[in-house]
Structure 1
Amino acid sequence: MSISYISATTKYILWGKAAGRCQYRGCNKPLFVDALTKSEFNQSYIAHIVADVPGGPRGDVVRSDLLKKDITNLMLMCDEHHRLIDKKDVAGHPEPLLLQMKKEHEDRIEKVASINPNMHSHIVTYRANVGVHTPVISYESVREFLLPSYYPAQSQAIDLSLSNSPQRDRNSSFWQTELENLETQFNEQLRPKFRKGEISHLSIFALAPIPLLIKLGTLINDIQNAEIHQPVRGPNTWNLNSDSSDFQYHINENLQSPEFVALAISFSGTIDNQRIIRVLGEGCSIYTLTIEEPFNDFLKSKKQLQLLSIEIRLLFDRIKTRFGSQKTLHVFPAMPVATAIEFGRVWMPKADMPLNIYDENTANGGFSLAIQIKN
């Protein structure tokens, strides 16, 4: 335990850097309020990383005296973790580990405190069963991914999901049930807030079958200021990066009869024309929007998503010009979460063609009609 005098100025600065919370990794306990009674008082301890005497925890003959009043050698801690590092488990808490804990905590506080105060965003979550899997998305698991550009506008998410649904996407009733719930939840939870001007920005976190994500996008539309978050593997995050490298989407055409017109989106995998012909019949006209090498984790950057919005808008107009706005466009998607939502946002209900969205499920022998989106 410390025996040296630490000035009030140094204490105040340390308190500011720690935001009055324990700096032990994973604790973050507020040290100005009692958790049980809510009484406010100072219950913090100031711990030395290198003890202020050579014989203390992590002490040193030379450095203990030099660092005893240095703020870089001080940590704000709760009683439990102060005792842990200085008495109970000194060996398990070497100097480099404590320095890293201090840095992580103070960097996080700096990042949060530097956010522009008007940059609040409402977190919207949506999940539905995908095959045998039931996705889990909670406010606590995604809120960190708003930083540093935004911070949560409220202490809970606006969840549009149908809770504890036993239905699976191989069943036709699944689509009708999920569609009705999604529209109901949107109309009850989001639409009134839009009309009252209570929402300035949305942060969307969703995991569901692609047709439902496209429908979600049409409800949000591109009028709303929103960021669509994408689950990314390696590193594990919900944030797209800011890479501005060149990227191209490709459009292939196989135009036959005007009776049926289809759009294949081959991002996560390749959808060949025969798979569409098996559904719509011989002679259908097929547009394919694809990338150089389709794979399920291609989407990494915000620029890729922005370019996609432009590409889809131009493609919608191109197909409509050739086939007319009343012709139904049959959409066969293999695409990441964020691209599906963005696809729906770009679609304009008053101007664009009606959409039939198909879902591929091996249990049903391939693609089958999932939902219809009408203007």
Structure 2
Amino acid sequence: MSVPLDAMYDQQLRAALEAWQHSSTSRVVLATETGGWRFAFFRFDATTSDPQEAITGDFGVLSRDLVLQWAADKQLVAKLEYAAMDDVPHVSVNTELFAALLLASVPAKATKKAVQAFLKQRDALLEDMKRPNLPGEVINWVFARSAGICEFEGCPVELFRDNLSNYGYYGYLAHIVAAKPKGPRGDDHLSAELAQSPSNIMLCCDIHHRLIDKVDPDSFSRERLQGMVATRVNWRTNQAATLSYPIVHALAFIGDIAGRTTTYSQHDGRQALLAAHLTPVSERVAEYLLRDAQGGNDVNDPGYWANFLRVFRAQILHIHTAIRGDGAFGAQAQELAVFPLGNMPAMLLGGWLVGEARRVELFSFRRNPGTWVRPDDSEPAVKFEWTKPPDVKVGSHVLITLEITSEITDAALTAEMLNMSRIRIFSTTYGVDVVAPKEAMERFRNTCQEAWAYAVDVLHASEISICTIAPAAAIFALGMKLQSRLHPRIHMFQMAPKTLPFHAFTLDRHAISVPPHAPGSVLQLDAC
């Protein structure tokens, strides 16, 4: 039968052995490695001699005391047997064949003297105090390299202070290649050569020091431990680099899309900022704005937008005031970072409120990998273009269609819109992630700037209607171009499925309104 060798910490090892010790149906044999440090306890069926379990691990104070008493106790029914073997199995290896060889060697009753001799031999190979003393320079180098934190993968334990905040060296300096050839990961040539090399020593907490040196050394190869150290060096280097990153105040414009809840991960936002060489102003990465997360809201109902204006009245005024500088976002932050993901009219409104008074880093959610982290700019470049209307009507009502995710055909527009001078802003390749790369977003924003300047400065549009089928970040970017004090009246339309667009709200120089302009449907931003 398959009996893999299991590794345990000292307390677990003692508990297992105690259970075996009092079992009248078990035969227990301790196998130790001749001249080495490996050992394994085997439990056999007392009647059939079939192997049942095999355990090894940290032969510490608790399990030592138990085993030494067991060897000396003549009253126990389950006698402890002992055999010294040339080669004891590694952890997780199937021990069925070894178990048969162990019984064939005819184990003898364990004696306290034999167990003590093995423990002394094991200590000589594993104990830190038996290793060559490390120079202070090496100790300081390792602590500095690790930033005083355990270098085992995933471990955050600080080793420069105890739980009472007393400062000092509280870690263990574990050799990757053992200081002695017969120790864990030892080597006849490298052990002496690397015994005092900082590159061969990793800082560990007590648990992980025992794990890699005493509990389960065989599972942690030289290459694996070196990889852990390299990962921590890379982490420390990256953390140091963030000290030079600009501090930004992050805003998350998040809302339900088509009645489905949209979420924002603060962790993902932090990853995106760090990848863009930016530092968030606080631990809570982003401040939520215009967050419609009630679930089930029908944005395709014209009445929805009137309710939206009422619900977010105070927050819209807060954004407007903060952007103007009376209550600026983040006293330390000169820059804004924006994470937009929501319905089209709300995204245009958010961009219009933020504008371009300050530098804004705009992130686009990448739907396919599900991340805000920007792709590198080596991806194939997508071009953005805009078209001039064939029939130029100066001073007329202009229609701007933003077509990034897909094309907006004439069939998707109202008869009134088809009579307007139309400016199309589109990408040469349609898609949900085309504005995600930083350079692509900059090209897109420049295209929006050109199209908007043409509509306002050349066509002198009296009013502008906007229809969009685009990623939220693209719509937000377009909204940023609609300067609040310089533009004609802007009408934002909701593109509803299987029906023509309907009017969501209107942006004036000093007010936001929703049809039918009943009392309470107008939000005044400031004095005219």
TM-score, normalised relative to structure 1: 0.85
- The residue number in structure 1 matching 2:404 is 267
2:478 to 340, 343, 347: 343
Q: How much has 1:85 moved relative to structure 2?
A: 2.7
Partner Cα distance (2:132, 2:304) in 1:
68
Q: How far apart, in 1, do the equivalents of 2:370 and 2:288 lie?
A: 26
Alignment-derived partner of residue 214 in structure 1: 348
User: Amino acid of the residue matched to residue 349 of structure 2?
Assistant: K
Maintained 8 Å contact 2:172/2:209: yes
Between the two proteins, the alignment pairs up a number of residues equal to 371
Decide which of 334, 339, 348 is 1:200's aligned counterpart: 334
Distance in 1 (alpha carbons) for counterparts of 2:290 and 2:192: 59
**Residues 314-333 of structure 1 correspond to what in structure 2 (within 5 A)?**
314-321=450-457, 323-327=459-463, 329-333=464-468
| Distance change (3 Å), C-alpha of 1:365 and 1:100 | farther
CA distance in 2, matches of 1:192, 1:83: 58
Confirm whether residue 26 of structure 1 aligns to residue 160 of structure 2. no
Structure 1 unaligned residues grouped into runs of 5+? none
The whole-number CA distance in structure 1 between the counterparts of 2:308 and 2:211 is: 50
Counterparts of 1:352-367 in structure 2, within 5 Å, are 352-362=487-497, 365=499, 367=501
CA contact under 8 A between 2:383 and 2:429: conserved in structure 1?
no
**Does structure 1 conserve the Cα–Cα contact (< 8 Å) formed by 2:355 and 2:481?**
yes
Q: Does 1:370 align with 2:504?
A: yes
For residue 223 of structure 2, what is the amino acid of its counterpart? Answer: P
Residue 18 of structure 1: how far off its partner (Å): 1.7
Bigger Rg, which one: 2
The counterpart of 1:4, out of the listed 118, 129, 132, is 132
Whether contact under 8 Å (2:335, 2:358) holds in the other structure is yes
User: Is the 8 Å Cα contact of residues 254 and 292 (structure 2) preserved in structure 1?
Assistant: no
Deviation at residue 114 of structure 1 after TM alignment: 2.5
Match of 1:303 among 439, 442, 446: 439
State the partner residue of 2:319. 186
1:111 and 1:247 mapped to 2: Cα distance?
31
CA distance in 1, matches of 2:402, 2:141: 55
- Aligned mates of 1:93, 1:265 — CA distance in 2: 56
Pairwise CA distance, 1:134? 2.0
* Contact 1:264–1:332 (CA under 8 A) maintained in structure 2: yes
Report the alpha carbon displacement of residue 15 of structure 1 after superposing the two structures with TM.
Answer: 1.9
1:293 aligns with 2:429: yes
Contact 1:130 / 1:208 at 8 angstroms: preserved in 2?
A: yes
Alignment root-mean-square deviation, CA:
3.1
- Counterpart CA distance in 1 for 2:322 and 2:358 is 15
Matched, 1:124 2:251: yes
SS at match of 2:153: coil
Residue type of the partner of 1:210? M
For residue 129 of structure 1, report the CA deviation from its aligned partner. 0.9
Distance 1:48 1:309, change over 3 A: same
- The residue type paired with residue 269 of structure 1 is S
Q: CA deviation at 1:110?
A: 0.8
Counterparts of 1:188 and 1:303, CA distance in 2: 30
In the alignment, the residues of structure 1 paired with residue 326 and residue 207 of structure 2 have an alpha-carbon distance, to the nearest angstrom, of 47
Partner SS state of residue 14, structure 1:
helix
Paired with 1:43 and 1:188, the residues of 2 have a C-alpha distance of 51
- Indicate conservation of the 8 Å contact 1:257/1:284, yes or no: no
> 1:290 offset after TM fit, Å?
1.0
* 3-state SS in 2 of match to 1:133: coil
Q: Which has the higher contact order (CA 8 A, sep 6+)?
A: 1
1:139 pairs with 2:276: no
- Tell me how far apart the structure 2 counterparts of residues 31 and 98 of structure 1 sit (CA, whole Å): 18
1:228 alignment partner AA: L
Q: What residue in structure 2 maps to residue 90 of structure 1?
A: 217
How many Å apart are 1:282 and its aligned residue? 4.4
Question: Deviation digits for residues 20-55 of structure 1, max 9, x if unmatched?
Answer: 222222223332345x65554443222222222233
Classify 1:283/1:325 alpha carbon distance in 2 versus 1 (closer, same or farther; 3 Å): closer
Instruction: Classify 1:320/1:201 alpha carbon distance in 2 versus 1 (closer, same or farther; 3 Å).
Output: closer
Q: Structure 2 stretches of 5 or more lacking a match?
A: 1-125, 510-528
Amino acid aligned to 1:158 = E
Counterpart of 1:372, as a letter, is T
1:142-173 deviation digits (Å, cap 9, x = unpaired): 21322262222222232225375235234445
> How far did residue 294 of structure 1 move?
0.9
Q: Is 2:282 the partner of 1:150?
A: no
Contact 1:49 1:73 in 2 (8 A): yes
Q: 1:334 to 1:77 in 2, by over 3 A?
A: farther
Report the Cα distance in structure 2 between the residues aligned to 1:140 and 1:195, rounded to whole angstroms.
Answer: 20
Give the partner amino acid of 2:224. Answer: L
Q: Using the alignment, how far apart are the partners of 1:113 and 1:123 within structure 2? A: 21
Judge conservation of contact 2:382–2:434 (CA < 8 Å) in 1.
no
CA deviations on 1:119-145 (whole Å, 9 max, x unpaired) are 222222231111243222233332132
8 Å CA contact retained: 2:185, 2:221: yes
Letter in 2 for 1:263: I
Q: What CA distance in whole angstroms lies between the structure 2 residues aligned with 1:350 and 1:220?
A: 13
Post-superposition offset of 1:264: 1.4
1:230 and 2:364 correspond? yes
Q: Aligned partners of 2:420, 2:207: CA distance in 1, in Å?
A: 70
Instruction: Give distance in 1, aligned partners of 2:177 and 2:291.
Output: 53
Structure 1 CA distance for aligned equivalents of residues 199 and 370 of structure 2:
31
SS in 2 for 1:106: helix
2:210 matches 1:73: no
1:371–1:32 Cα change, 3 Å:
farther
Q: 1:238: Cα distance to partner?
A: 2.0
Q: Once the 2 structures are TM-superposed, how far is the Cα of residue 275 of structure 1 from its aligned partner?
A: 0.6
Task: Determine what percentage of the aligned residue pairs are the same residue.
Answer: 18
- Distance in 2, matches of 1:128 and 1:37, equals 45
Shift, 1:107, TM fit: 1.0
1:76 aligned partner, one-letter code: L
Going from structure 1 to structure 2, the CA distance change for 1:86 and 1:33 (only over 3 Å counts) comes to same
